[in-house]
Amino acid sequence: MTVPDGRSFIEEGSPAHDFFVVTDGRVKLFTLLPDGRRQITGFAEGGDFLGLAASTSYAFGAEALGTAVLCRFPHASMQRLTDRFPNLEHRLRQEASRELSLMQARLTLLGRKTARERLATFLMERIHLLAPPCHANASQVEFDLPMPRTDIADYLGLTIETVSRVLSAFKREGLINIRGITHITIMQPERISAIAEGLE
């Protein structure tokens, strides 16, 4: 199942028939308020699971971020799979629990952190998504942000203007460098990390 950039493939609140695995590319998950306010509840990429809740309707919408490739498993066939491979059920629980732990951190971010702390935390998250060797003890790390500023804002519970201002401030302070729109170099990872934890 290939989903083109920007195409929505899960409608929030619609009946949940399928379970998905992201094979390639990226997707964003979000919830909406009636007046259009949006909260992005997560980004998923290769290897991530979607729709773990075998409940009756989806608690979120999902949309491709760039072209994405997914595997779709109707609940019935998942049932058959878990019957045949009991370990799978354990694996799914592990996955759900891991996600749950991440959510705790995200609640703290949205409920208690300042804009600077949110952006710093977001940058650290991106660093940890890179292959481990890249950030072991490097004094600089670089990567591309796959999502536009609007998505970063909706993920962090901020406005696009605030995201832009804080990134500019980080750049002005020599903590990061920005090339083009998407390419970020973290100049001082340890200071970004300190800001993320609320230590400065």
Partner DNA sequence: CCCCAGACTTGATCCAGGTCAAGGTGAGGG
Partner DNA sequence: CCCTCACCTTGACCTGGATCAAGTCTGGGG
Q: Which residues bind DNA (CB under 7 A)?
A: 114-116, 148-150, 157-165, 167-168, 178, 180-181
Quick one: which of 10, 18, 1 has its CA closest to 79? 18
Over the window 134 to 163, marking each residue x when it contacts a copy of itself by CB under 8 A and - when it does not, the resulting string is --------------------x-xx------
Residue 198 binds to a copy of itself (criterion: CB under 8 A) = yes
CB atoms within 10 A of CB 160: 14
Residue 96: what residue type? Answer: A
Q: Which is nearer to DNA, 29 or 184 (CB)?
A: 184
* Pairwise CA distance, residues 167 & 66, whole Å: 23
Say if strands 61-74 and 18-32 run parallel, antiparallel, or are unpaired: antiparallel
| Cβ at position 177, least distance to a copy of itself in Å | 27
159 binds, among a copy of itself, DNA, none (CB under 5 to 8 A by kind): DNA
What is the 8-class DSSP label of residue 58? -
Nearest 5°: phi and psi at 28? Answer: -115, 145
CA dist 152 to 12, 84, 114, Å?
Answer: 20, 40, 15
* Alpha helices for 30-178 (secondary structure H): 75-84, 86-112, 115-129, 149-156, 160-172
Residue 59 binds to a copy of itself (criterion: CB under 8 A) = yes
Residue 163: what residue type? Answer: V
Q: Which is nearer to a copy of itself, 141 or 154 (CB)?
A: 154
Residue among 39, 164, 177, 188 that touches a copy of itself (CB under 8 A): 39
Residue among 7, 80, 93, 128 that touches a copy of itself (CB under 8 A): 93
Residue among 71, 76, 105, 129 that touches a copy of itself (CB under 8 A): 105
Instruction: Give me the residues that bind a copy of itself (CB under 8 A), please.
Output: 29, 31, 33-35, 37-39, 41, 52-55, 59-60, 82, 86, 89-90, 92-94, 96-101, 103-108, 110-113, 154, 156-157, 197-199
